[in-house]
Amino acid sequence: MYLTTISTVYNHYKDTWFYILEQVITLAHKVAEHPSVDASRVYLMGASMGGYGTWQLAMSVPELCAAMIPVYGGGMAWNVGRLSERGVWAVHGEKDAFVSCEESRHMIEALGKSDKVRFS
């Protein structure tokens, strides 16, 4: 099951995910607990603001997801150690005009080398 963090909430919460983080966590738990969902195979994914939300949701409740794919996002690298047992595939273009590639690179470097971590 994929849980995609939707960046359309941008229109209402332009500066940060923190205003709605508790609601997103509650929603993610409800989805993961649904009888048709294999809770051991929940994958988080989001792009741009959704990429930031993906990092934040995974770091807030790492037990919720098996892996994550943040696309041109970033976050609080000091907290990324909580994801050491999770698969992470961060994707970011060097020429991104809106989110610096350094945001993703900083997160991946903080995770360290692992066969569970990929950056492209």
What average pLDDT does the segment 4-23 reach? 62
CA distance 108 to 118: 8
pLDDT of residue 21: 85
pLDDT of residue 11: 54
pLDDT level of residue 17 (50, 70, 90 thresholds) = low
What average pLDDT does the segment 24-48 reach? 91
Alpha carbon dihedral 11, 17, 18, 22, in 10-degree steps, equals 100
Tokens of 35: 């009888």
What average pLDDT does the segment 11-34 reach? 78
CA distance 47 to 95: 15
**pLDDT at residue 27 is higher than 80:** yes
- pLDDT one-digit tens code per residue, 75-99: 999 999 999 899 999 999 999 888 8
Q: Residue 95: which residues within 8 A CB-CB, separation 6 or more? A: none
CA distance 71 to 118: 12
pTM of the complete model: 0.84
Q: How many helices (H) and strands (E) does the chain have?
A: 3, 5
**% of the chain surpassing 70 pLDDT:** 85
